[in-house]
Amino acid sequence: MFNKRIKIKTLLAQDPESYREQEVTVMGWVRTFRNNQFIALNDGSTNTNLQVVAELGKFDESLLKRITTSASLKVTGAIVASLGKGQTMELKAASIEILGDSDAEVYPLQPKKHSLEFLREKAHLRFRTNTFASVFRTRHALAFAVHKFFNDKGFVYLHTPIVTASDAEGAGEMFRVTTLPFENTPRNEDGSVNFKEDFFGRSTNLTVSGQLEGELGATAFGEIYTFGPTFRAENSNTARHLAEFWMIEPEMAFYDLEDNANLAEEFIKYIIRYVLENNREDLDFLATRLAEEEKQLPQDKRSEMGLIEKLEFVINNEFQRLTYTEAIDILANSNHNKKKKFQYPITGWGMDLQSEHERYLVEKHFKKPVILTDYPAGIKSFYMRLNEDGKTVAAMDILAPGIGEIVGGSQREERLDVLLEKMKAMNIPMEEMWWYVDTRRFGTVPHAGFGLGFERMIQFVTGMSNIRDVIAFPRTPKSAEF
């Protein structure tokens, strides 16, 4: 058997005494090799390298020459207590096998600090850096926590389709899915493309959200969630937009807006607590990284709290809840607005909030996560439930410090007549949406749900300021390498 190895994380967690005289095998990649004697070996299980000692004179010069940065090794030997600083144990190598050479002349990553921008160009290798290893182990832990949270509550994980025919959701620009040829494209008499000739016999797109299908699940199982990729062809080159991102969308029958907000707050706190308890080493590393990065910033641009402190603050304090109408009042009366410091001035009730407004509320005014509810019907989607006042809908957005919108959700319009009227007014084609409307015809119930952008959540938890650094292979305008 080849893979009779112990992971470095497992090894380091043990008392070195328990390994006395025992032979272990580790495998991993060389981070550094000092004095022709000390190998820092990393196997991806932790950022802490295992020190492997190749005693002087014991190994051939030709072998030692091949121990270069990122070469892969299989090392067998005895664990001994270490005298070195910051490590409890080291491995005294009895045998070293080179599994794969790495030419130091051309290996792009040096054992020094690289910028995040540089590493984005080397995304195929960036997992081998401490920062990205910590980010992606944290991403994994958060994903696991998402499933655990919903599973433990009895939600059904529903896999909604990636290819969809409806373009009614209106969440963003869509990518078209087609097998039609670019040349001699089949056309109708009026010159438009004849999608009857296309693969699915109609025009199809990549999904922008699993919500509409999620509602079909919720109105049978009671509570479902989706967790999958979504796509938006929006040409926004920001640090918080991707063309391909992952979204978590729970959808619950017998929930109103308040139940929805309660669930979202509980969920966010749960997954943060989960990583604080289970991924502390990586979070501590990322906290230190962030603190160092912020040292470069002018005083007023630095965060008031460290990363861990911020996460603990979020799980230990209630989110601020207020209505859109109250938010407009706060914004309109703020000194920031009076001094004309917003790029988009507050023009009054009915306007859509820009991210600068959201950030003002969260970062300057409340200094904590905010749940904004009850938006004007005119700026929100057709499926959101009309409130008693006839002009607002039971929508909610959750805004997080440093990120802005992290959750968008609502109570859904369950009243058939109100929904049909709304669809007509907003030009939502019935031919495409008949199946959705059927849920309101056959045993309709009050229900609600929300969508959490997974990468924005990871940004919040890891302190990474660019969304491209929390997804393995970012898809953004003009960029789909790797």
The binding site for ligand ATP (CB under 6 A) comprises: 171-172, 232, 234, 241-242, 245, 247, 405-408, 451, 453, 455-456
Choice between 30 and 208, CB closer to ligand ATP = 208
Ramachandran bin of 429, using left for φ above 0, alpha for ψ from -120 to 50, beta for the remaining angles:
beta
Q: What is d(CA 457, CA 304) in angstroms, rounded to the nearest whole number?
A: 19
Q: What are the C-alpha distances in Å from 95 to residues 64, 373, 481?
A: 12, 64, 39
Choice between 265 and 405, CB closer to ligand ATP = 405
Choice between 198 and 251, CB closer to ligand ATP = 251
**Taking the complex as a whole, how short is the minimal distance between the CB of residue 158 and ligand ATP, in angstroms?**
17
**Taking the complex as a whole, how short is the minimal distance between the CB of residue 249 and ligand ATP, in angstroms?**
8
Question: Are 210 and 230 a contacting pair, CB within 8 Å?
Answer: yes
Q: What is d(CA 227, CA 453) in angstroms, rounded to the nearest whole number?
A: 10
Choice between 226 and 279, CB closer to ligand ATP = 226
Q: What is d(CA 173, CA 121) in angstroms, rounded to the nearest whole number?
A: 27
**Taking the complex as a whole, how short is the minimal distance between the CB of residue 403 and ligand ATP, in angstroms?**
8
Choice between 39 and 407, CB closer to ligand ATP = 407
Choice between 397 and 414, CB closer to ligand ATP = 397
**Taking the complex as a whole, how short is the minimal distance between the CB of residue 174 and ligand ATP, in angstroms?**
12
**Taking the complex as a whole, how short is the minimal distance between the CB of residue 233 and ligand ATP, in angstroms?**
10
List, in sequence order, every beta strand (DSSP E) within 101-153: none
* Residues β-bridged to residue 176: 205
**Taking the complex as a whole, how short is the minimal distance between the CB of residue 419 and ligand ATP, in angstroms?**
19
Q: What is d(CA 337, CA 315) in angstroms, rounded to the nearest whole number?
A: 31
Cα 41 to chain centroid, rounded: 29
Residue type, 208: V
**Taking the complex as a whole, how short is the minimal distance between the CB of residue 336 and ligand ATP, in angstroms?**
20
**Taking the complex as a whole, how short is the minimal distance between the CB of residue 229 and ligand ATP, in angstroms?**
11
Residue type, 141: A
Q: Is 385 exposed, middle or buried (0-12, 13-18, 19+ CB in 10 A)?
A: buried
- Residue carrying structure tokens 């302190």: 463
Choice between 6 and 322, CB closer to ligand ATP = 322
Q: What is d(CA 259, CA 264) in angstroms, rounded to the nearest whole number?
A: 9
Residue type, 442: F
**Taking the complex as a whole, how short is the minimal distance between the CB of residue 201 and ligand ATP, in angstroms?**
28
3-state secondary structure of 255: coil
Choice between 201 and 477, CB closer to ligand ATP = 477
Choice between 188 and 236, CB closer to ligand ATP = 236
- Residue carrying structure tokens 């990549």: 206
Choice between 28 and 408, CB closer to ligand ATP = 408
**Taking the complex as a whole, how short is the minimal distance between the CB of residue 338 and ligand ATP, in angstroms?**
26
Question: Are 262 and 285 a contacting pair, CB within 8 Å?
Answer: no
Strand order in 176-177's β-sheet? 163-164, 204-206, 176-177
Cα 275 to chain centroid, rounded: 14
| Residue 360 DSSP class | I
Q: Is 231 exposed, middle or buried (0-12, 13-18, 19+ CB in 10 A)?
A: buried
Question: Are 109 and 125 a contacting pair, CB within 8 Å?
Answer: yes
14-17, long-range: CB within 8 Å, 24+ apart, which pairs? 16/79, 16/80, 16/81, 16/82, 16/88, 16/89, 17/81
**Taking the complex as a whole, how short is the minimal distance between the CB of residue 279 and ligand ATP, in angstroms?**
21
For residue 18, what are the contacts with CB-CB under 8 A and spacing of at least 6? none
Choice between 247 and 362, CB closer to ligand ATP = 247
Choice between 23 and 266, CB closer to ligand ATP = 266
